[in-house]
Each structure stands twice: as C-alpha cells, then as structure tokens.
Chain A
C-alpha cells in the first residue's frame, strides 16, 4: 500500500510541476531579454481559462478532432507513470520498459499529426508533415541513447536503469554517458519543440511546427493539447535528470527525506529548464532543411557513446 501511495505521489508530482517548468522557461527568457514577462504560473491559468471555454470545430473536421486531443493528453500522462522521481517503485514499474515508453510517446505524436491534418486548413497539414519529419529524425538518436544506457545497466526496465545508474555506472563510463547526455539534449530539444528545432513562441507560418498543428484548436481541446506538450517536455527533462544523470538525493526512509528528495528533484528540473531557456536565447532557429543535420549530429553522438562503451 505504501509503495502504491509513493508511486501515486511521484505521478502527481510530475503532472503538477509540468506547467510550472514551461512557465519558468518563458519567464527566464523574458527576464534575460530585459522584459518582465508573464508570471511563472501563467500556464496553469491558461489551462484553467481554456478549460472553461467552448470548443469550436471546423465543419471540415471528423471524429478525429474530437478524440485526438484526449489521446494526445492521456499518452504523456500515462508515460509519466513510468518515471521515478525519488523512488524506483512507480505506477508502471511492473512493466516499465523504456522501449515501450518511447513508442507510447510516438502514439501521441501520431495523433497530434492526425489532428493537424484533420483541421482541413493548409497550416495544419504543413505542421503535421514537419512534425512527423522531425519525430522520425529524432527517433534513431533517441533509441541509440536508450540502448547505450540499457547496455550499461543490462536492462530495459526503467526502474532497473534508475537503480543501477544511481550506483557507479555514471562514473564508470563517463565518456559514454556524457556523449549520450549530449545526444539526449538534442533529442529533448526536438521532441519538446524548442529552439533551434522549433520556436514555441512564434506564429510565423514559415517556421512554426508544433504551433501550426494546434492553430485551429480552441477551448478544452487546446487545453488538452497544451497539457500534452507540457507533460511531454517534463518527461524528457525527468529522463535527463533522473534516469540518465541521477546525481542528487534519493531517500524514502522518512517523510522528511522524501520531502527533501522532492525538493532536490524540483531544483534539478528548474535548473534544466533555465539552462534550456538560456540555450534557446543564444541560438538561432535552424532552417528547416538543417534540422536533419542537427538530428544526425545527435545520432552520431549517441553512436559514439555506444561505441565507446561497447567496442
């Protein structure tokens, strides 16, 4: 019972902080640029506001537009059940296979792309085609990274990887691990739709990818799609900070150590968010046709990391 409660706690922590992380990134960017910017908690308010609004659907759209937002939101939320925050017992730890996790996430991307197409507007299809291109380019690198860590810890179960990475593995193979993390950073940028792959702030038709797909969504649908993208971002950051670079404090003995573990997790996530935000400010968005080069670069990094580990 206690482990179940802990798992539930971890699940909800991931869900709850996800809008905050995105808000923090926006705030950081605004502050560095010299403007005040929206409040850190603005994403929560946005979601609440959108939830109360009416859904307007194009008369060209089919049942896909009705179900897709739910799937897009539910898929990352399900995946959040896989991830440990401070303890290896998660909701899905009985079958927490990391490869399953990757392809469950792909299901969400697939339905998001369908949703884009289904609007019948020119931008939606454009965004979908771009999104699928980026996703398919990011996938090899992502799988490569995962294989590296799976090889290092001899398991594809997320909880096992979490446990063994918390041991000495990171320091046993520093070269391999660092390269894999660098590759994962690229994958994160691509999957979370950040600069230099995609710019979440723009609505410029030539460059937008994610925004193009959800351009026609409104009300509750938009809120669901936003939740999906927030949680997805958080999932990747959690993978980064907890699974593959488990530096921190993990202790479940007393209520206080649990609290402290959560606090440390929170700090780590905020730091990562700020790092990514600052990274975004220093980079320019890549031309669409250069994205394949960037993802290929990530793939090669992942490949080297595997080669340095295994060969």
Chain B
C-alpha cells in the first residue's frame, strides 16, 4: 500500500512533466514546475516518515523551500523584469512532442522491464517513471528555443533525478543531497543571470541564432 502511494505521487510528477510539454506560456510552465517540486517533496517526506530518517526530512524541507518557492519566485521575477514574451517557441509542435513523449515513456518502461531490480525496493515503478521524467526534461531542453524554457527543462530533469534518488533507495547520503541542492540553486541563479545578460545585450536571443555558431 505504501509503495502504491509513492508510485501514485511519482505518477503525478510524471503527469506534470507531460503537462510541462503542453504548456505554451512561461507563467504556466513555472507554476507547473513549482507544483511538480511540491509533489517531489511530498514523496520524499512520506518516505522519510515511513523509514523515520532525519536526512529525508531535511531534503524534503529543502526541496519544498528551494524548488517550490525560491526558484519559481526567482524565475517569475526574471520574467517580469525582462518582459519576456509569454509564448514559448518550440522547434517541435506540442502534438508531435506529445507523440515523442509517449514513445519515450513506452521505451523506458520496456527498458526497465528487462532489468531485474532486485533487493528491497520501496517502489519499483518509480525507476521507469523517473527515467521518463529525465528524458522528458531532456526533450524540453532540446526542443525549445527560449533560454528560460531550456532552463525549466533542466529543472524538470533534475526533479526526475531527485525523485529516483529518494524513492528507489532511502535517499542519497545527506552531504551529497545538500551538495546537489546547492549546485542546483547556484546553477539556476547563474543561468538567470546569463539570461539577464542575454536579454540586455542581445535582442534576438534564442537558440536558432546559436546555429550560426556551430562548427
């Protein structure tokens, strides 16, 4: 029953990742990200209660504070300051993205089905679910043009990793987790700073103009 609950939360995180794909507005994307992080923190908290481990309480609290409030707030602020247009530009339109996503999901489930995950696993389905979320995040990163959406894709991907790190095992060691949080928050801050630079110095910044930039 407990594993079902964790799997259910994991499924909601996956659904929110898919919702992220369908979003064509930045505000909506950020809200979805915040809700997703909230679900991740619930998942961590419930595993913490189940295994009564202090480390997981800490990391659940950190997820809640950093990912549900601080990062979305910072992103909202970045958007407001820079008056970024609301629309999200994508290389692949939403319907096709969803088709790709469904292929990805089937693929990950098939992949993990052939892997014998032995031992005492809290929730077995979390593994393919998180793998799907990771691939979805990666897909958002490659299929979107605006820097801020790419950042959101990265954060989604990172949520997937956080989910698998806490739900498959009883959480990574605390030092490692705090390090991960630190890196994510610094990375997001730096990325928003660069976005700031980009918007200040370059008018037509999106990833299409990066194409004259390869080779």
Contact = CB atoms under 8 A, between A and B. Distances in A.
Nearest to A306: B106
Given A179-B15, A303-B106, A293 B7 contact: no
A20 B178 CA distance: 55
B113 interface: yes
A309 B5 CA distance: 15
B94 to A, nearest CB: 4
Given A175-B8, A178-B8, A178-B11, A308 B125 contact: yes
Interface stretch (A107-115, A156-164, A227-235, A294-302): A294-302
B109 interface: yes
Interface in B8-64: 8, 10-11, 14-15, 18-19, 22, 24
A121 interface: no
A5 B24 CA distance: 53
A180 to B, nearest CB: 11
A297 B109 contact: no
B4 interface: yes
B18 A293 contact: no
B123 to A, nearest CB: 10
Given A174-B7, A175-B11, A311-B109, A301 B18 contact: yes
Query: DSSP majority for the B interface?
Result: helix
Which of A290, A301, A311 gathers most chain B CB within 10 Å?
A311
Interface residues of B, number: 24
Interface stretch (B97-105, B140-148, B154-162, B203-211): B97-105
B109 A174 contact: no
Contacts of B94: 290, 293, 296
Interface in A120-145: none
A304 interface: yes
B15 A301 contact: yes
A36 B149 CA distance: 43
A8 interface: no
Given A293-B95, A296-B95, A297-B98, A307 B19 contact: no
B115 to A, nearest CB: 13
B4 A293 contact: no
A51 interface: no
B19 A297 contact: yes
A292 B11 contact: no
A297 B106 contact: no
A83 B101 CA distance: 34
A299 B101 CA distance: 11
Contact of B8 (A174, A293, A301): A174
A305 to B, nearest CB: 9
A292 B24 CA distance: 13
A297 B16 CA distance: 11
A131 B106 CA distance: 31
A300 B101 CA distance: 8
Interface in A147-204: 171, 174-175, 178-179, 182
A291 to B, nearest CB: 10
B113 A293 contact: no
Nearest to B7: A175
Contact of A300 (B18, B109, B110): B18
A304 B109 CA distance: 10
Given A175-B8, A300-B18, 19 more contacts: A174-B7, A179-B15, A293-B95, A293-B98, A294-B22, A299-B98, A300-B98, A300-B101, A301-B15, A303-B106, A304-B14, A304-B102, A307-B105, A307-B109, A308-B11, A308-B125, A311-B106, A311-B109, A311-B110
Ordered nearest first, which 6 A-B pairs have the shortest CB separation?
A311-B109, A296-B98, A293-B94, A175-B11, A174-B4, A175-B7
22 contacts: A174-B5, A175-B4, A175-B8, A178-B11, A179-B15, A290-B24, A293-B94, A293-B95, A294-B22, A296-B95, A299-B102, A300-B98, A300-B101, A300-B102, A300-B105, A301-B15, A303-B106, A304-B11, A304-B18, A308-B125, A311-B106, A311-B109
